[in-house]
Structure 1
Amino acid sequence: MRLFIAEKPSMAAELAKCLPGTASRKDGYIVTDGGVVTWGYGHVLRQAEPGEYDSRYEKWRAEDLPIIPADWKLLVADSCRKQFAVIKHLIEQANEIVHAGDPDREGQLLIDEVLDYLHNEKPVQRILLNALDEKSIKKAIADLRDNRDFFSLKQSALARSRADWLIGMNLSRAYTLAAQRAGHRTTLPVGRVKTPTLALVVRRERELEAFKPADYFTVKADFQHVNGVFTAYWKPRDNQAGMDSEGRLADAAVAKRLINAVETAAEASEVILCETSEKKEPQKLPVSLSSLQVMAGKKFGYDPQTVLDTAQKLYEKKLTTYPRSDCEFLPESQHADAAAILGNLRETGKCDLAQWSDGAEPTIVSRAWNDKKITAHHAIIPTTVKCNLMTMNESERNLYILIAQAYIAQFYPVHVYDQTKVEVSHAGETFTASGRIITEIGWKAVYGADTDDKKEEDGATLPAMTKGDAVTLLRASADKKSTKPPQRFTAATLLAAMKEIHKYVKNPELKKRLKDVAGIGTEATRATIIRELIERGFLIEQTKKKYLCPTDSAYLLIDALPDEMTYPDSTALWENILHEMAQGSESLEDFLTGQAEFAADLCGKAIGLTMPLQGEHHCPQCGQGVLQQRSGRNGKFWGCSRYPECRASYDDQGDAPKKPDYPCPRCRQGELRLKNGKNGNFWGCTKFPACRATYNDKEGKPALPER
């Protein structure tokens, strides 16, 4: 018996339809002439909690950290026990197994871990389902691969899962305990990707708080050439006075002198440089999940999770390919489907898709068709299944059009234009101008103004001129402008920052290395991470544009953690290692050893951490904790938040700690209490033996020295 194990029921149902014979549904599986199909519900197995390794870890204690499992333990998820029993029974009956998890790192692991858990030794093949339409599934069935080819991908997923456990379980406990010692009644979840993502928003908010607008001047001049008038912008010298650190002219007096010198100069002006070169701009690539999320966020205001959920629905309706893809390229073999897909899009009615498809040439092969850029999945594109836009809801329709638009653009020519650069010498100063003449609109006919991101001085139309031509100054001006504060993140722009994390890395060498790495997190997890930060109260969305703002808890967490955890340098480097591990060039064991050492180091830093105290009543004994109301055998009392390190306790008096009648004048941390000694009653400090202050008893009071 051949057994197919799909990741979820919907995928299993579509797979069964494409196998020979009539499909017969049973409890937890489907029987066909071509094999039996069963399914999981995502991760059937879960990572064991610390308390499931050892019951002493059920209570959070700093002295137990770090917790490093010697042998990693998986447990069957409670919600999946019945289905797991079905899978186990079917594996025992099968003589051949087909791994049908999603074609990505996580999809590879969640079926492999079940097979490993059950000590399967039967042959396993791998099917890569990048689309759920009949043609794609049947093609995938005919092209099964040996599952051993994907061992490195599984190792990468396993490394990610275990690293998240090591960082999350240990550092969340360490820094939560540190916060609680300072009186904060909160839990501080620390995550390998989650924390540096939150830190991006915290730092952006602090940039805004500290921002002070600064004035600067843009100097430009209009010149008359025999063939027409054009505007050129002043180019400062290398040693120009009055410039700020960003290379802008910030000194008003210098700007005024410059304009005066330019306008009063008697000498003639001359074109000292005139270069024209042909530029070609290749087709914008098809979309990955991240690029789709960013585009939809900017154009429609959709949050990343909505985009993922909607793309998943389009995939399950067989209208688009696998949505959790980090790839923007396409396999060369799929170019043969272009005519059919474009033909379907022409029939979508009186809409942009039909118009764009009419102008497409299916024989064009853009840079997107590149087998060397393909791993387990490819860019998100329309399938060969015809769509009816009228049956879609608004978000489905908008996303389908974005996906199809990017696909159609591959069948338009490259965008071609002539770029001209001009320099003019006048009054000893240099002015520059540039302009372009489009000679072939190409794929930009599909996008129009959406791709028009040229600078102000880059879009001018220049008269025909050559080097050495004379020009005449008509006027000069200095436009006063002010620097603008950085914009707050939205969910979409924060996701883009996670993908382009090299821009936020401090180390310049690491920044270069990480430029080509796909950021932190994965296509499937970035949206979830942002949503969790909002749901757990670390970020809130404000205004109609849903700008993300950090809460007090976010500041507390980020300020408590060392740079190693809040800056993305380490996380981005880890992601790079995981990527290389998927290619087979990194070791799982070495990576996890490094993660364990990192967790141990940061747990050690948490022990000596000083955090701002939260609470009205600071502990008079240790001075480092706060008194918190508790319940004991004899009713309410007040104890120090640093217990058991500090065992200070005070009676309750009107929902407040009763202040000591006689604070110790020597140590100023303890209090004097009546004791009985060999020679009768005396008063001693509660901090004994650290403080050995003693005083005679005088009518029930300590005989304190007069001040």
Structure 2
Amino acid sequence: MRLYIAEKPSMGAEIAKCLTGPVIRKDGYLETKDGIVTWGFGHILRQAEPEEYDEKYKRWRMEDLPIIPEKWRLLVSESCVKQFEIVRGLIERADEVVHAGDPDREGQLLIDEVLDYVENTKPVKRILLNALDEKSIKKAIHSLRENSEFLNLKQSALARARADWLIGMNLSRAYTLAAQRAGHRIVLPIGRVKTPTLALVVRRERELENFVPVDYFVIKAKFAHGNGEFMTNWKAKDEQIGLDSEGRLIDEVTAKALVDKFQQENNETGVVTLYETTEKKESQRLPFSLSALQVLAGKRFGFEPQLVLDTAQKLYEKKLTTYPRSDCDYLPENQFEDAKVILSNLANLDQSQIASWANKADSGIKSRAWNDKKISAHHAIIPTQERCKFSTLTEAEQKLYGLIAQAYIAQFYPQHVYLQTKVEVHYLKERFTASGKVIKVLGWKELYSAADAEEKKEDEDALLPEMKKKDEVLCKEAFFDKKATRPPARFTAATLLAGMKEIHKYVKNPEAKKKLKDVYGIGTEATRATIIKELISRGFLQNEGKKKTLIPTKAAYLLVDALPDEMTYPDSTAVWEDHLHRMAAGDTELKLFLAEQESFTKALCEKAKQMVIPIHEGQKKCPRCKQGVLQLRNGKNGAFWGCSNYPSCRATYEDDHGSIKKPDHLCPRCKQGDLRLRNGKNGAFWGCSNYPSCRATYNDDKGKPDFNR
């Protein structure tokens, strides 16, 4: 018997429909002539919590950190016990298992970890389902691969899960305890990806708070040629006075002097030193990965990333589009033959704009999107061969399907071809430049009319007459525009997601920045939206205004300021993501990666132990260690005040009806502790409560300290 194990019931149902014979529904699985189909509910197994390794970890204590499991444990999720037992029983009955998890890193691990947990010895095949329409599923069933081919992908997912556990469990405890030591009643959830993501928003907000606009001046000059006039921009020399470090002219007096110089009545003419026209070709915009779809839908429709993911998932489950959690924007070459059917369906769509575009498409054009070398486990999100009844879709589904269809149709339009002209003029020993653009073939940009309208406007402004090198020109007028530097824009959910994808832009180390330019970013296509949503729901970010810009809360500043750069800058996380992708390709090992994560975790736990966090407003700083705060506690002899930094600091003070009792006798030596009567070998004496930091002692004089002896 062949057993298919899908990631969720909906996928299992679609697979069963494509197998031979009637589908018989059983409890937790479907039976057909070609085999049995069962499923999980996402993660049937979960990682054990620290206290499930050892009871003592129930209480958060700095001295127990870091917690590093000697042997990693998985447990069956309480909500999945029944289904897990059904799957276990079916595996025991099976002759062969087909792994039908989603075609990505996480999907690979979900089913593999169940097979490992039950110690499966049956042969395992892998089915890759990038679409749920009947033709795609049947094709995938007849193209099964050995599951062992995906071992590296599983190792990569396992490495990510364990690294997230090590950092999340240990550093969340370590820095929460450090914050509570300073009187903050807060839990600081720290994550390998979410913490540097939050730090991006905090740093952007501080840039805005500290931003001071700088005025600068842009000089323009109009020149006359025998074939017409044209506008140019003045380019400053390196030695030009009045420039800032960015090369902008910031001195208005200098700007006026230059304009006056250029406008003087003189017989000097300018000379065209460069006139160059080059034909440029712009390839078709690639189809969408999930991140690219989330970013564009956010900009165009104001959609939150989570809404885009949820809607793309619905379109996938309706068999209208391919697998949504894709990090790839290319297509396999063997799917090129499907284009005629897909374009024909789109041409008959009950949506006039998409139908019009599809009718003009040329199915013989093969864009750069079709490239097997760029394909991993999945490909770009495109329409399937399933006919779409556009009018039955929700508004969000219509908008998203429209974007996906538009990008697919664009692959079958010609390249955008234009002439790019560059002009350089030398006049009065100064350099002026201009550029122009003439469209020869509009091509695929016909589908993006709004962008085309903008470009046409730019082209009209930059219209250039026919010229040649060494032609003379006359300066007709010169002037300057006063401008001001703009502050950086606040992040929205869509632009923050784009920042996570293009994380190399925010990396601190310049060498790492170069290296990580081709990295996939931090997080995965499926998790980025969830991370942003979690930061909002847990009160670290909040939406503000119509544009829903993201604003950090006080808790966000506290978390980011408490942590060292290793966790708040994305350098380490981006490098780790690079390691995970290399692991998926078989270029690095799980054991080596986890050893690095353990060392990193240990080092940051040590930093947390030494961390001094600003005392929470309204709390009384411990006068002895100056790191903790005094807290009211109950002891054997009643209430007393003790330091939150215990056991590192053992300072205690008497309670006076809910307040710290002022000492009857302040220690004259340290001026922090109070003198207390104690019994020693030679009788009673007065000693400082700040012992052992202060070892002041005084003789007893009838119940009072004798400061003279």
TM-score (ref. length: structure 1): 0.97
Q: CA deviation at 1:624?
A: 2.0
Q: Look up the equivalent residue of 2:687 and give its one-letter code.
A: G
2:486 corresponding residue in structure 1: 484
Distance in 1 (CA, whole Å) between partners of 2:123 and 2:351 is 52
Q: CA deviation at 1:693?
A: 2.0
2:239 corresponding residue in structure 1: 239
- The correspondence of residues 58-457 of structure 1 with structure 2, limited to 5 A, is 58-264=58-264, 265-450=266-451
Partners of 1:434 and 1:457 within 8 A in 2? no
Single out whichever of 669-678 and 367-376 deviates more from structure 2. 669-678
Partners of 2:288 and 2:404 within 8 A in 1? yes
**1:232-286 CA deviation, whole Å, 9 max, x = no partner?**
1111123222211222111112211111111114301222210001000000000
Q: CA deviation at 1:476?
A: 0.6
Distance in 2 (CA, whole Å) between partners of 1:343 and 1:655 is 80
Distance in 1 (CA, whole Å) between partners of 2:196 and 2:295 is 19
Distance in 2 (CA, whole Å) between partners of 1:453 and 1:312 is 33
2:56 corresponding residue in structure 1: 56
1:687 equivalent in alignment to 2:690: yes
Distance in 2 (CA, whole Å) between partners of 1:513 and 1:677 is 67
Q: Look up the equivalent residue of 1:150 and give its one-letter code.
A: F
Distance in 2 (CA, whole Å) between partners of 1:114 and 1:77 is 12
1:599 corresponding residue in structure 2: 601
Q: CA deviation at 1:691?
A: 2.8
Q: CA deviation at 1:230?
A: 1.2
Specify whether residues 540 and 493 from structure 1 end up closer, same or farther in structure 2 by C-alpha distance, changes over 3 A only. Answer: same
Single out whichever of 502-511 and 30-39 deviates more from structure 2. 502-511
Specify whether residues 632 and 388 from structure 1 end up closer, same or farther in structure 2 by C-alpha distance, changes over 3 A only. Answer: farther
2:6 corresponding residue in structure 1: 6
Partners of 2:652 and 2:689 within 8 A in 1? no
Q: CA deviation at 1:634?
A: 6.5
Q: CA deviation at 1:600?
A: 0.9
Partners of 1:311 and 1:323 within 8 A in 2? yes
Aligned partner of 2:665 among 662, 665, 683: 662
2:645 corresponding residue in structure 1: 642
Partners of 1:622 and 1:669 within 8 A in 2? no
Q: Look up the equivalent residue of 2:552 and give its one-letter code.
A: P
Q: Gaps (5+ residues) in structure 1?
A: none
**1:168-223 CA deviation, whole Å, 9 max, x = no partner?**
11111111111122222211111111111111111111111111000111111111
Distance in 2 (CA, whole Å) between partners of 1:252 and 1:651 is 68
Q: Look up the equivalent residue of 1:665 and give its one-letter code.
A: P
Single out whichever of 3-12 and 239-248 deviates more from structure 2. 239-248
Specify whether residues 96 and 685 from structure 1 end up closer, same or farther in structure 2 by C-alpha distance, changes over 3 A only. Answer: same
Distance in 2 (CA, whole Å) between partners of 1:456 and 1:685 is 81
1:609 corresponding residue in structure 2: 611
Specify whether residues 705 and 283 from structure 1 end up closer, same or farther in structure 2 by C-alpha distance, changes over 3 A only. Answer: farther
Q: CA deviation at 1:526?
A: 0.6
Specify whether residues 455 and 510 from structure 1 end up closer, same or farther in structure 2 by C-alpha distance, changes over 3 A only. Answer: farther
Superposition CA RMSD, Å: 1.8
Specify whether residues 694 and 451 from structure 1 end up closer, same or farther in structure 2 by C-alpha distance, changes over 3 A only. Answer: farther
Distance in 1 (CA, whole Å) between partners of 2:570 and 2:202 is 13
Partners of 1:623 and 1:669 within 8 A in 2? no
Distance in 2 (CA, whole Å) between partners of 1:453 and 1:157 is 44
Single out whichever of 288-297 and 420-429 deviates more from structure 2. 420-429
Distance in 2 (CA, whole Å) between partners of 1:99 and 1:679 is 80
Partners of 1:57 and 1:64 within 8 A in 2? yes
Partners of 1:684 and 1:695 within 8 A in 2? yes
Count of aligned positions: 706
- The correspondence of residues 504-515 of structure 1 with structure 2, limited to 5 A, is 504-515=506-517
Partners of 1:415 and 1:444 within 8 A in 2? yes
Distance in 2 (CA, whole Å) between partners of 1:226 and 1:279 is 27
Q: CA deviation at 1:74?
A: 0.8
Single out whichever of 642-651 and 678-687 deviates more from structure 2. 678-687
Secondary structure of the 1:243 match is coil
Q: CA deviation at 1:680?
A: 5.7
1:561 corresponding residue in structure 2: 563
TM-score (ref. length: structure 2): 0.96
Q: Look up the equivalent residue of 1:596 and give its one-letter code.
A: E
Q: CA deviation at 1:457?
A: 7.4
Specify whether residues 654 and 300 from structure 1 end up closer, same or farther in structure 2 by C-alpha distance, changes over 3 A only. Answer: farther
Distance in 1 (CA, whole Å) between partners of 2:556 and 2:452 is 36
Secondary structure of the 1:411 match is coil
Distance in 2 (CA, whole Å) between partners of 1:636 and 1:139 is 74
Distance in 1 (CA, whole Å) between partners of 2:492 and 2:348 is 36
Secondary structure of the 1:431 match is strand
Partners of 1:424 and 1:432 within 8 A in 2? yes
Q: CA deviation at 1:677?
A: 5.0
1:475 corresponding residue in structure 2: 477
Q: Gaps (5+ residues) in structure 2?
A: none
Aligned partner of 2:629 among 626, 635, 638: 626
Distance in 2 (CA, whole Å) between partners of 1:202 and 1:690 is 39
Partners of 1:182 and 1:611 within 8 A in 2? yes
Q: CA deviation at 1:152?
A: 0.7
Single out whichever of 448-457 and 23-32 deviates more from structure 2. 448-457
Distance in 2 (CA, whole Å) between partners of 1:632 and 1:42 is 48
Single out whichever of 516-525 and 554-563 deviates more from structure 2. 554-563
